[in-house]
Amino acid sequence: MTVATHQVETRIQNRIPAIASVADLVSSFCAAHKLSQQLLVALSVSLDEALNNIISYGYSDAGDHSILVRLAYEPGSVAATIEDDGNFFDPLSVKRRDLHSPDRVGGYGIHFITNLMDDVQYGCQHGINRLVMRKRIV
């Protein structure tokens, strides 16, 4: 884990159990910056959903891959960034699904992220997916 003045980052392997270390990082980061429980929950759920999707569906092979997770305290907000070398997938391009449809399978993760966070951006450059999620500090 790297620690800067208002930023922390870690790298995890593309294995579901590794997500627990990100939850610990979020808790420590929020406590250090005296952020609200609401913000902690929004960050935790959004990161958990995004990382679960990346690990579960983002790779064409069973090899080891490194995923970067960065939290940054910005003026008026907190940014959570995930960078991975998985398959290209823009979560913001997915058509919104009817969450009440009885035959709908999946799709909750993107719904949670876009509703919990105030700003979500996706980009891919040189084979690296970058998801940036921001939550205003209130």
Domains by residue range for the chain, with CATH? 2-136 (3.30.565.10)
Identify the pLDDT of residue 9: 96
Q: What separation in angstroms does the CA of 126 have from each of 18, 55, 87, 97, 109?
A: 25, 20, 12, 30, 25
State which residues of the chain have pLDDT below 70: 1-5, 95-107
pTM of the entire predicted model: 0.87
User: 36-54 pLDDT, tens per residue?
Assistant: 999 999 999 999 999 999 9
User: 5-20 pLDDT, tens per residue?
Assistant: 499 999 999 999 999 9
Query: Please, are residues 76 and 48 in contact by the beta-carbon 8 Å criterion?
Result: no
What percentage of the chain's residues is helix, strand, coil (to nearest 5)? Answer: 35, 30, 35
Could you list the beta-strand ranges (E) of 14-127.
Answer: 66-74, 77-84, 119-125
